[in-house]
Amino acid sequence: MINLIKKFGKFIIDSGYQAIVLYRISHFFWIRNFKLIARIITRISIMINSIEISPGANLGNNVIISHGIGTVIGINSVIGDNVLIRQNVTIGQKGNSHLLHDEYPTIENNVSIGAGTVILGKVNVGENVIIGANSVVTKDVPNNSVIAGVPFKIIKNI
């Protein structure tokens, strides 16, 4: 019972946690082909916390959005387990064509994404990656890397 009270309290005060919970509910409806309900829940989430996570995105376990205002995660983006996403991050397709449904990023496990980062197109961000703030990622990132910049450069291997 105490754990439930703590989770409810976190839901009330943590906009990133709130966005993840509402995403999980909308995704539940999305995969069962109740797309309108899923989109309504997503719109409510956007109005409440200014974080847009498409119900068609696929988020793993323990995805954390920290100070997430302005964060957008596109419809076919795939995000692995233990990923930290900071504020004003965009994860989506290049361009605006709705015909490119497979042109979304895949972010593997244990990734930390800095504030203001943009990850676009059919790119793979490997496991155990740290992405510096305001980086632009439009090509694959190898496992065990620290990257930063516009366009990104590998700062070091870890």
- What does the pLDDT read at residue 5? 76
- pTM confidence score: 0.90
Strands 145-148 and 153-157: antiparallel
| Omega before 151 within 30 of 0, i.e. cis | yes
Each of the 158 residues of the chain gets a pLDDT tens digit; together they read 677 777 666 667 778 889 999 999 999 999 999 999 999 999 999 999 999 999 999 999 999 999 889 999 999 999 999 999 999 999 999 876 666 566 899 999 999 999 999 999 999 999 999 999 999 999 999 999 999 999 999 999 98
C-alpha dihedral, 97 to 100 to 101 to 104, nearest 10° = -100
- What does the pLDDT read at residue 98? 61
Phi, psi of 92 (to 5 degrees): -170, -165
- Tokens 């754990």, located at residue: 3
Two tokens, residue 81: 């387990």
- What does the pLDDT read at residue 144? 98
- What does the pLDDT read at residue 102? 67
Set 27, 67, 98, 101: catalytic member: 98
Dihedral sign (CA 41, 47, 49, 50):
positive
98 is catalytic: yes
- Please state which CATH class domain 2-157 belongs to: mainly beta
- What does the pLDDT read at residue 100? 57
- What does the pLDDT read at residue 75? 92
- What does the pLDDT read at residue 97? 61
